[in-house]
Amino acid sequence: MITVQVLVATMKQDDHSLLDKMNIQTDALIGNQCDKSFIENFSWNGKNITYFNFEERGVGLNRNNTLMRADADVCLFADDDMVYVDGYDKIVDKAFEECKDADVIIFNLHEENSSRYIIKNKHRVRYYNYLRYGTARVAVRTNSVKKNAIYFNQCFGGGTSYCHGEDNLFLTECLKKGLKIYAVPYYIAKLTDERLSTWNNGYDQKYINDQGVLYRAISKHWWRILCLQDALRKHNSYGMNWWNAFRIMIEGGKSF
């Protein structure tokens, strides 16, 4: 059976109660951005736990701090508003056994009133369908991403200049480096949705602007087309007509 580590990105934790709250059942590395800098190593329910308490900000930096130190066969990226199902390590092992050539596997998350894409059958993830997935449902073979020098872009995501997109850019790099990505219909955790973002204010003009920046970071050749399809599909959610959404994204992309 493969070994699994959970890599948690969190903030302002002052004890270890998060481990119980998230139902952690494997080794875990906790990236805790707070107001002090120190590292804690300890055993918890027979598992090896490390807290990296750093006086820093930025979700990409936080994820990189744990990813660069990960040493299990497979890493699960996690946010602190997740509760893992019992036996999630066995579910992950089963998925990688079924997808033997997979470097990255994307799972489902239980969520009330979910707007996320629900995976209904196993399939390859490619350029035309990868942007629908976020980091918290992603598992990676640790050696695959490290050998290809794939880490999170530290200019994107909460606590940075551009409020989102670090997960999209991570999967973009996986595809560009030739890693094989699969999506499977297995559920590994539930999202509690109890944590409000301190960085993202919803679909405001800043979000739309940053979407244009993200698309240019994804592709310097096709970013305008990516902006156009986004504006046509999501302009109602943005509360404006498609042309205004497209114009804001283009201005954002040009500024990058």
pLDDT of residue 195: 54
Measure the CA–CA gap between 68 and 31, rounded to whole angstroms: 11
pLDDT of residue 160: 81
Q: What backbone phi and psi angles, to 5 degrees, belong to 43?
A: -100, 140
| Region(s) of the chain under CATH 3.90.550.10 | 4-191
Q: If phi over 0 gives left and psi between -120 and 50 gives alpha, with beta otherwise, what is residue 7?
A: beta
Phi, psi of 239 (to 5 degrees): 75, 35
3-state secondary structure the chain: CCCEEEEEEEECCCCCHHHHHCCCCCEEEEEEECCCCEEEEEEECCEEEEEEEECCCCHHHHHHHHHCCCCCCEEEEEECCEEECCCHHHHHHHHHHHCCCCCEEEEEEECCCCCCCCCCCCEEECCCCHHHCCHHHEEEEHHHHHHCCCCCCCCECCCCCECCCHHHHHHHHHHHCCCCEEEEEEEEEEECCCCCCCCCCCCCHHHHHHHHHHHHHHCCCCHHHHHHHHHHHHHHHHCCCHHHHHHHHHHHHHHC
CB atoms within 10 A of CB 146: 16
d(CA 29, CA 9): 9
Instruction: Identify the pLDDT of residue 198.
Output: 47
CB-based contacts of 224-227 (< 8 A; 24+ apart in sequence): 224/250, 224/253, 227/253
What does the pLDDT profile of the chain (256 residues) look like in tens digits?
Answer: 999 999 999 999 999 999 999 999 999 999 999 999 999 999 999 999 999 999 999 899 999 999 999 999 999 999 999 999 999 999 999 999 999 999 999 999 998 877 788 999 999 999 999 999 989 999 999 999 999 999 999 888 887 888 888 999 999 999 999 999 999 999 999 998 655 544 455 688 999 999 999 999 999 999 999 999 999 999 998 999 999 999 999 999 999 8
12: its two tokens: 């302002």
Task: Give the pair of three-digit tokens for residue 23.
Answer: 């139902």
Q: Which CATH superfamily is domain 4-191 in?
A: Spore Coat Polysaccharide Biosynthesis Protein SpsA; Chain A (3.90.550.10)
Question: Which residues are CB-neighbours of 87 under 8 A, at least 6 positions away?
Answer: 25
Neighbours of 196 (CB within 10 A): 7
